[in-house]
């Protein structure tokens, strides 16, 4: 796989018809700078709005993938996206004068040929790969859809389809390396079943549809009257091949439908916004599932980014305060003293440590057979850690108490069990005013977030209580 980002050498112009709108489309693919990724621009609309290729911008997946942003939309983007991903092109701007990418022959081959003919320019920046570090799974039980991404130093894809059709049967397609896309996948055309075609035609939903840009699978007996009707609609003679395909179209591959599903998956996963390293396996994928899976990977990227921004601490480092020193500041005592050490302390943040052990009194009554440190006590430990931060603002903390006024957005993400060491971090969200502090608290075991909350506290003199 490429190390450096790349774009194209010069502009590419492609014209055609939109599959669903039937409108003529003029498209210009232009070089773009590093870290640009893929963006569409509707040059036919006022202000020439730009639409980022991003899973969060998907607005429809019923008959292809549609993205919308800034009051503009672009439909049927998946074949062009697959061509760009398949050729490892990272940065382009795509201008359109209509709301749909041209369907051309229903595959990605013409896009690929044009891009190769134009050539590439290697850019200075390294490719910003997202490497799958742990399995990511998406399942739709009712439709028997399952997609999984697994760690791999490369980009491998495997796809299985099964439409319960005697014509198609079960089909598989795969590539072990993205460089195989051009020869093995790009030429596979979109397909539909005859009953779907008739429904779409009757509802005027594929105005640009033609037997030259799709494979039509005949999954029922077709009368001469129906064939004559279809011949009239398409203005050409229509019959059924022995393989169950309309108009004797010669399949480019025995498993062309499965290969096209793989093509769609490659294109839809461009919505992640970065090139991927991993092995993607899919059973019965479709645009809706592909987009949902892309969103799941995006969410994982966000979690990983947040995890990188979280500092880790050595539990054995010399503490700022040990347990005895903490008891000189906080009024809590066993069994309700929930902080064992303070590892870091500044004017705006504090880091505390809690060792969870099986001999704590609470485990005698809280799930004794399956001991779990209660979430409410995690918040208490977080609050006591934050109390150290707030009491650090007065010269005589032993004469003050920290009273918590509010807890918001509390979340518990992983269980805490005996043997765990929880690191609690509290950081001021704004300066302390009139003795009131607002803090963001985070509890971690190793590199996993176990709890988080926003806390509001007030310090008061002991004699005033």
Q: Residue 246: its pLDDT value, please?
A: 62
Q: What is the mean pLDDT of residues 318-325?
A: 95
Residue 29, domain member (yes or no)? yes
Residues 221 and 274 in one domain: no
Residue 360, domain member (yes or no)? yes
| DSSP state, residue 316 | T
Q: Residue 313: its pLDDT value, please?
A: 81
Q: Residue 350: its pLDDT value, please?
A: 95
Alpha helices in 357-407 (DSSP H): 375-391
Kindly state the tokens that stand for 386. 């934050």
Q: Residue 166: its pLDDT value, please?
A: 64
How does pLDDT run across 20-79, given as a tens digit for each residue?
788 899 999 999 999 999 999 999 999 999 999 999 999 999 889 999 999 999 999 999
CATH code, domain with 79: 3.30.230.20
* Rounded CA separation 414/370 (Å): 15
Residues 268 and 389 in one domain: no
CATH code, domain with 389: 3.10.129.10
Q: Inform me whether the pLDDT recorded for 345 exceeds 70.
A: yes
* Rounded CA separation 279/135 (Å): 10
Tell me how many domains the chain contains: 3
Residue 212, domain member (yes or no)? yes
Range of the domain at 459: 323-464
Q: Inform me whether the pLDDT recorded for 208 exceeds 70.
A: no
Residues 86 and 52 in one domain: yes
- Least confident range from 153-157, 199-203, 356-360, 394-398: namely 199-203
Residues 334 and 418 in one domain: yes
Residues 354 and 389 in one domain: yes
The 10 Å Cβ neighbour count of residue 272 is: 22
* Rounded CA separation 141/99 (Å): 34
Residues 107 and 18 in one domain: yes
Residues 142 and 207 in one domain: no
Residue 299, domain member (yes or no)? yes
Residues 46 and 114 in one domain: yes
Residue 314, domain member (yes or no)? no
Residue 452, domain member (yes or no)? yes
Residues 212 and 262 in one domain: no
Q: What is the mean pLDDT of residues 434-443?
A: 92
Tell me which of 221 and 207 has the higher pLDDT.
Answer: 221
Q: What is the mean pLDDT of residues 322-340?
A: 93
| DSSP state, residue 345 | E
Q: Residue 81: its pLDDT value, please?
A: 98
Residues 58 and 139 in one domain: yes
Question: Which pTM was predicted?
Answer: 0.69
| Catalytic center residues | 287, 366
* Rounded CA separation 78/461 (Å): 65
Residue 91, domain member (yes or no)? yes
Q: What is the mean pLDDT of residues 333-337?
A: 91
Asked if residues 181 and 303 have their Cβ atoms less than 8 Å apart, the reply is no
* Rounded CA separation 27/427 (Å): 50
Answer with the one of 274, 304, 334 that is the final residue of a domain: 304
Mean pLDDT, the chain, rounded, equals 89
| DSSP state, residue 223 | -
Q: Residue 315: its pLDDT value, please?
A: 86
Query: Of 261, 262, 265, 273, which is closest to residue 297 (Cα–Cα)?
Result: 273
How does pLDDT run across 212-265, given as a tens digit for each residue?
667 777 766 666 676 676 666 666 666 655 556 666 567 888 899 999 999 999
Q: What is the mean pLDDT of residues 6-27?
A: 93
The percentage of the chain sitting over the pLDDT mark of 90, rounded to a whole number, equals 68
Residue that the structure tokens 């092995």 belong to? 279
How does pLDDT run across 70-118, given as a tens digit for each residue?
999 999 999 999 999 999 999 999 999 999 999 999 999 999 999 999 9
How does pLDDT run across 148-158, given as a tens digit for each residue?
999 999 999 99
Residues 33 and 182 in one domain: yes
Residue 316, domain member (yes or no)? no
Kindly state the tokens that stand for 329. 């500041």
Residues 356 and 229 in one domain: no
Q: Residue 206: its pLDDT value, please?
A: 58
Residue that the structure tokens 């987009």 belong to? 291
> CB-hemisphere CA count at 13 Å for 454?
5
Q: Residue 244: its pLDDT value, please?
A: 61
């Amino acid at each position: 796989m490429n190390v450096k980002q790349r774009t194209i050498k010069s502009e590419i112009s492609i014209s055609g018809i939109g599959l669903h709108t039937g409108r003529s489309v003029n498209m210009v693919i232009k070089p773009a700078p590093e870290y640009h990724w893929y963006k569409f621009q509707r040059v036919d609309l006022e202000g020439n709005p730009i639409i980022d290729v991003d899973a969060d911008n998907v607005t429809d997946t019923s008959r292809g993938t549609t993205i919308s942003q800034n009051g503009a939309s672009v439909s049927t983007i998946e074949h062009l996206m697959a061509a760009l991903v398949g050729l490892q092109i990272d940065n382009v701007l795509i201008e359109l004068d209509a709301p749909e990418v041209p369907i051309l022959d229903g595959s990605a081959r013409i896009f690929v040929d044009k891009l190769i003919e134009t050539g590439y320019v290697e850019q200075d920046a390294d490719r910003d790969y997202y490497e799958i570090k742990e399995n990511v799974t998406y399942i739709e039980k009712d439709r028997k859809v399952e997609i999984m991404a697994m760690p791999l130093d490369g980009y491998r894809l495997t796809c299985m389809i099964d439409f319960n059709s005697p014509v198609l049967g079960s089909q598989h397609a795969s590539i072990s390396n993205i460089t195989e896309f051009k020869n093995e996948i790009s030429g596979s055309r979109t397909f539909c079943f005859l009953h779907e075609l008739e429904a779409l035609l009757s509802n005027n939903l594929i105005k640009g549809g033609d037997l030259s840009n799709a494979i039509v699978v005949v999954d029922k007996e077709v009368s001469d009257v129906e064939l004559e009707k279809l011949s009239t609609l398409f203005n050409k003679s229509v019959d059924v091949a022995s393989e169950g395909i309309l108009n004797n179209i010669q399949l480019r591959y025995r498993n062309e439908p499965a290969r096209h599903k793989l093509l769609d998956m490659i294109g839809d996963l461009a919505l992640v916004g970065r090139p991927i390293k991993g092995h993607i396996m899919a059973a019965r994928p479709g645009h809706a599932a592909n987009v949902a899976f892309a969103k799941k990977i995006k969410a994982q990227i966000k979690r990983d980014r947040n995890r990188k921004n979280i500092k880790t601490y050595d539990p054995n480092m010399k503490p700022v305060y040990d347990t005895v020193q903490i008891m000189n500041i906080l009024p809590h005592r066993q069994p309700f003293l929930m902080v064992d050490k303070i590892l870091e302390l500044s004017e705006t943040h504090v880091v505390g440590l809690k060792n969870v052990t099986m001999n704590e009194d609470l485990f005698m009554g809280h799930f004794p057979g399956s001991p779990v440190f209660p979430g409410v006590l995690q918040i208490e430990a977080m609050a006591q850690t934050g109390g150290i931060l707030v009491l650090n603002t007065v010269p005589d903390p032993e004469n003050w108490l920290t009273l918590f006024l509010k807890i918001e957005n509390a979340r518990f993400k992983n269980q805490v069990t005996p043997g765990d060491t929880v690191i609690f971090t509290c950081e001021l969200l704004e300066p302390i005013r009139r003795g009131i502090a607002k803090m963001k608290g985070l509890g971690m075991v190793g590199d996993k977030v176990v709890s988080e909350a926003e806390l509001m506290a007030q310090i008061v003199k002991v004699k005033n209580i």
